[in-house]
Amino acid sequence: MSYQNLDSFRDPEVAKTLSGLIAESCQSPMRIMEVCGTHTVSIFRNGIRDMLPEDITLVSGPGCPVCVTDQKEIDDFIQLARKKNVILATFGDLMRVPGTQSSLQKQRAQGRKVKVVYSAFDALTLAAQNPKKKIVFCGVGFETTAPTVGACILEADRQGLKNFFIYSAHKTVPPALDALMSMDTVIDGFMMPGHVSVIIGADAYLPLVEKFSIPCAIAGFEPNDILASILTLVQQKEAGESKLENTYSRAVSPIGNKKAREVMEQVFDRVDASWRGLGVIPGSGLSIREEYERFDASKAFELPPARSAAPKGCICGAILTGKKIPPQCPKYKIECTPTDPLGPCMVSSEGTCAAYYRYHGAITKVY
């Protein structure tokens, strides 16, 4: 698997064939939800919408961790940045997300120490190097990311670090999909998140497929991965089938990454969690277990309940559940732009509204 081989998954001839097959197979309107924000971005960046028959509608799901992070959690990150002696470490994704009053970017401009890291492990290193500072890492992400944070907590424990803290806003995908299907959403098929699946394994979706009888395909992130998964979804639907197809078998096994899951289970408890737009979903959150609670920023710091209020007029909830698309939001492109985002779906680089804004002009089929 080198970049040479990857090229096959990007081959325009193959893409043309796949999109032709999709058009051929598709006989009736179909709404496919790509659960994962990275899929959303890949679809837009590669211009895939442009290659699909009009009958196929791609709707974006709740798979951008920044977008589904609850307003209170964002406000807590901001409260943490304001604490004395704290260096807040975060993935770049969170920097611009508007909290009720401020954002991490604005906190930094006011002189708070906010540091963008590429890995939770970089935050751990920061803690080891700055024994007099408290390093707090903003833990957001799904099953792909949570084990990396868990591994850092175990390592901090081994090193005996006393100045390393995690605020865990991690969430898990299957309960959210279950909740979504139980709502009044119209989804005819799921494109499943490839890298969450790497960890949880393909089999983790079997209960969902069974319970809701819905076509599902696990997809990689190259354009032809995505087209292939759409093709299988269309074929299933047209054949009246509801299966789980794994079109990303080079990375996703039926059982996933057991070691990563063990780390996750060792460090986190499953708890109810509040998702933006979806409300509280039972068992969908990961909180730090009692055994490691000395690393838990939500316990180590006083975080008086802020008056968190989701941005007025933002229909992120409807967007994240696939009920609406951004152009249906009255704020879209008017009061809400990437420069001045109102909701997180506009700020996250993989947020649905941002992707629409950036890549989706009036112009399609121009070539």
Specify the stretch interacting with ligand SF4 by CB under 6 A; choose among 8-16, 87-95, 177-185, 326-334: 326-334
Per partner kind, with CB cut-offs from 5 to 8 A, the member of other proteins, ligand SF4, none near residue 205 is none
Residue nearest to ligand SF4 (CB): 343
| H helices, E strands: number in the chain | 17, 11
Nearer to other proteins, 155 or 299 (CB): 155
> What is the Cα–Cα distance from 290 to 355, expressed in whole angstroms?
39
Q: Is 256 in the site for ligand SF4 (CB under 6 A)?
A: no
Tokens of 37: 């924000």
Nearer to ligand SF4, 106 or 299 (CB): 106
Residues 6 or more apart whose CB falls under 8 angstroms from that of 213 comprise: 242
Q: Is 342 in the site for ligand SF4 (CB under 6 A)?
A: yes
Nearer to ligand SF4, 97 or 120 (CB): 97
187 and 29 in contact (C-beta within 8 Å)? Answer: no
User: Of 93, 144, 74, 86, which is closest to residue 111 (Cα–Cα)?
Assistant: 86
Question: Could you give the strand order of the β-sheet that contains 113-116, starting from the edge strand earlier in sequence?
Answer: 113-116, 86-90, 134-139, 164-168
> What is the Cα–Cα distance from 60 to 318, expressed in whole angstroms?
10
Window 225 to 254, contacts with ligand SF4 (CB under 6 A): none
Q: What's at 290, amino acid-wise?
A: E
Question: Could you give the strand order of the β-sheet that contains 189-192, starting from the edge strand earlier in sequence?
Answer: 56-63, 30-36, 189-192, 216-218, 244-246
Nearer to other proteins, 30 or 126 (CB): 126
Q: How does strand 134-139 pair with strand 86-90?
A: parallel
Q: Is 314 in the site for ligand SF4 (CB under 6 A)?
A: yes
Which of 329, 348, 350, 355 is in the footprint of ligand SF4 by CB under 6 A?
329
Q: How far is the CB of 356 from ligand SF4 (least distance, A)?
A: 8
Tokens of 215: 């076509």
Q: How far is the CB of 40 from ligand SF4 (least distance, A)?
A: 13
Specify the stretch interacting with ligand SF4 by CB under 6 A; choose among 191-199, 202-210, 243-251, 345-353: 345-353
Which of 72, 171, 261, 331 is in the footprint of ligand SF4 by CB under 6 A?
331
| Contact residues for ligand SF4, defined by CB under 6 A | 314-316, 319, 326, 329, 331-332, 336, 342-343, 345-346, 353
